[in-house]
Amino acid sequence: MDAVVRRARPITGEFTLPGDKSIGHRALLIAALANGTSELRQFPNSGDLVRTLDCIRSLGVGVGRNETSLVIEGKGLGGLREPEQTLDAGNSGTTARLLSGILSGQTFQSSLTGDQSLRRRPMKRIIDPLSRMGARIDSTPGFTPPLTIHGRFPLKPISYELPVPSAQVKSAVLLAGLFAEGTTTVVETQPSRDHTERMLSLPITEQGGKKIVSVTGGKTPGPIQMNIPGDISSASYLIAAALTVPQSEIVLRNIGLNPTRTRILGVLQNMGGQIHVHERGSELGEPFGDIHVSFSALSGNITITGRDVPLLIDELPLLAVTAALCKAHFQLREARELRHKESDRIALLVRNLRSMGLDVEEYEDGFAFEGKKNVIGARIQTDGDHRVAMAFAVAGLGAHGETVIPDAHSSDISFPGFWDLLSPFITS
C-alpha cells in the first residue's frame, strides 16, 4: 500500500498509544518461563510481538485472551517443549535474539528463521557469548539466520563485556543465564535499554563507569501482572509532528517513561520543544505518565555520537527528518549499528533526504546535513523498514507537495494504527 502525505492541518487531541513493544517482548518471554499465570493488560498487537507470541505457543506455552488482557500459562524453567517446526521470528530481531538466549538453555534442538530482512541481520553478536555458555549454534557462513540451536542444560555461567552496546544481546545473555549453573554477569560500557533487568529485578552495580548486571541461574521468575505502558518510540512520531506543524497541541496518555528510552524528549526540548511530562506511577519498575506537546519554533544543532546512539537507536530516523524540517544542522556519528537494522538505515536516510532536496554527506558510521526552509515532497524508498516509513510520513507533513510512502503498512510491525491516527490531519 502506498500512502500519500501532504502538509498537515493542526494536530490536536488526546491519544492513547499501543503498549511498549520492547516491554511486550520481554514480558511474554519471562511469563513463558514463570511458574503460574501472567496477565498482560494493554498488550500491543504489533507484528513483531505476534511473532514472539507464535514462537512461545510453538514451545508449548498456553496463551489466551480475555476482554482486556493477554493471559500466559507459564511453564517454568524446565517446561518448554521441542517445537515441531522451525520457529519464525518474521521481521523481529528482538524475537530472534532474545529467544535464542532461552533456547540455548534447553535440552532439545530448535531452529529459528525470519523474513528476508531478518535473514540479513548479524547474529554473531549473540552466537559468541551463547557458545561460550555451552550452546552450539549453527548459522549461515555470514552468521545470519536461519539458526539451529543445540541447547545445553545447565549452561556455563560467564562474565561478558558487550563489544557493541545492545539491549538485545544483553537480554539474550541474561535470559540464558537463568539456565546456567551459577551467576552470569553482563558488563556495559555504554548504557542501553534496561527493561529485562527491571522485569527480573536483577542486581546492578557500577564500577569504573561501567554498568554490571548479574543473574543467578535456577531461579524461576514469578508470574507477571502488568499494564503495559504506551510505547515512547511510537509516541515520538506524534511528538515530532505536533512540534513541527503550526498550531498543534496534543496530550499522550500513559506513555512509558523509562529513563533509558526518553533521551528523545531531552534532545527535542533542547531545541526549544514545548514538551511537558507528568509522571503518574510505575509498573514493575517501569515509570509511566502523560506527555503534553505544543507546536514550537525548533532551532539549534543536533549532534549525536557515542553514548547517545544506543539511547536513541529507534528514534534516529525521526530526529533526522525533524532537523530537516526546522533548518537545523544535523550530524550523526558512531552509529554504524544503523546499517544492520531492518534495512541499512544510514543509506536509506541519506538517499531519501537527498530526494527531498537536502545536501547530505554520508559516512560509514553516520551522515550530516543542513536543514532547509523548503523541504520538497518525494517518493520515499523504505525497503519495508517501518521506522523509515513513519519518519518520512512526519517529514511529508511539513514538506511542499506530496510525499509518497510505499509499504506504508510496514508501520504495523511496531505501531499498529499509525495511519489511522495520522490520516485525519493530512490535507486533501
Identify whether residues 10 and 116 lie together within a single domain.
Answer: no
Residues 131 and 169 in one domain: yes
What's residue 343's pLDDT?
A: 85
Q: Which residues of 110-122 are buried (b: 16+ CB within 10 A; e: fewer)?
A: bbbbbbebbbbbb
How many residues are present in the chain?
Answer: 428
Tell me the pLDDT tens digit for each residue of 226-258.
Answer: 999 999 999 999 999 999 999 999 999 999 999
Which of helix, strand or coil describes residue 400? strand
| Residue 246 sits in the same domain as residue 364 | yes
Provide, rounded to the nearest whole percent, the portion of the chain with pLDDT above 70: 100
Q: Are 242 and 209 part of one and the same domain?
A: no
Where a domain ends, among 226, 245, 269? 226
87 touches 51 (CB < 8 A): no
Whether 2 is catalytic is no
Mean pLDDT of the chain: 95
Q: How many CB atoms lie within 10 A of CB 17?
A: 26
pLDDT > 80? residue 68 = no
Q: What is the DSSP string of 65-83?
A: E-SSEEEEEEE-TT-----
CB atoms inside a 10 Å sphere around CB 13? 15
pLDDT digits (tens, 9 = 90+) for 335-390: 998 998 888 999 999 999 999 999 999 999 999 999 877 899 999 999 999 999 99
Structural domain for 304, as ranges: 3-19+229-425
What would you report as the CA-atom Rg of the chain, rounded to the nearest whole angstrom?
A: 21
pLDDT for 188-211, tens place per residue?
Answer: 999 899 999 999 999 999 998 899
Considering the domain architecture, whether residues 201 and 290 belong to the same structural domain is answered as: no
Residue 145, all three cell numbers: 539466520
Q: Are residues 103 and 204 in the same domain?
A: yes
C-alpha to C-alpha distance for 218 and 78, rounded to whole angstroms:
10
Domain final position from 178, 197, 226 = 226
**92 and 222 share one domain:** yes
Distance CA 19, CA 71 (A): 15
The catalytic position among 314, 365, 383, 412 is 314
pLDDT at 134 (0 to 100) = 98
CA distance 227 to 239: 22
- 218 and 84 co-located in one domain: yes
| pLDDT, tens only, 138-169 | 999 999 999 999 999 999 999 999 998 899 99
What is the pLDDT, as a whole number, of residue 329?
Answer: 92
- Extended beta strands in 259-353, E state: 274-283, 286-294, 301-304, 329-332
pLDDT for res 428: 67
Domain of residue 97, CATH code: 3.65.10.10
Backbone phi, then psi, for 376, in 5-degree steps?
Answer: -105, 145
Question: What is the domain count for the chain?
Answer: 2
* CA–CA gap between residue 293 and residue 121 (Å, rounded): 36
185 and 264 assigned to the same domain: no
Is residue 12 scored above 70 in pLDDT? Answer: yes
The last residue of one of the domains, among 226, 256, 272, is: 226
What is residue 45's predicted lDDT score, i.e. its pLDDT? 86
29 & 73 share domain: yes
One domain for residues 73 and 204 = yes
Residues 302 and 335 in one domain: yes
